[in-house]
Amino acid sequence: MSKVVVVNCTTGEETIRDLTPEELAANEAANAEAQRRMEERDAAEAKRLKDKESANKKLEDLGLTEDEIAALTA
């Protein structure tokens, strides 16, 4: 079971206790949400890179040089 440290700021007394079932559930929900957001961000970045690569390929197919493509996309 996970533990939590509770500090009384007035007295400096520290108490270590187990997390309650509600606290555990909240932590698990927060972790799941963080994981979902990271996966969503990673997927968006992968799509952006794929789209950029596709766009550059299309510009090459139109006959633009690498320098011209760099000038357009910078």
Domain ranges of the chain: 3-73
Q: What is the pLDDT of residues 38-72, one digit of tens each?
A: 999 999 999 999 999 999 999 999 999 999 999 99
The DSSP bridge partners found for residue 3 are 18
Three-class SS state of 20 = coil
The token pair at 26 is 């909240």
Cβ distance 6 to 17 under 8 Å?
A: yes
Q: What's the pTM value of the predicted model, to 2 decimals?
A: 0.67
Statement: residue 1 has pLDDT above 90: no
Statement: residue 7 has pLDDT above 90: yes
pLDDT of amino acid 20: 94
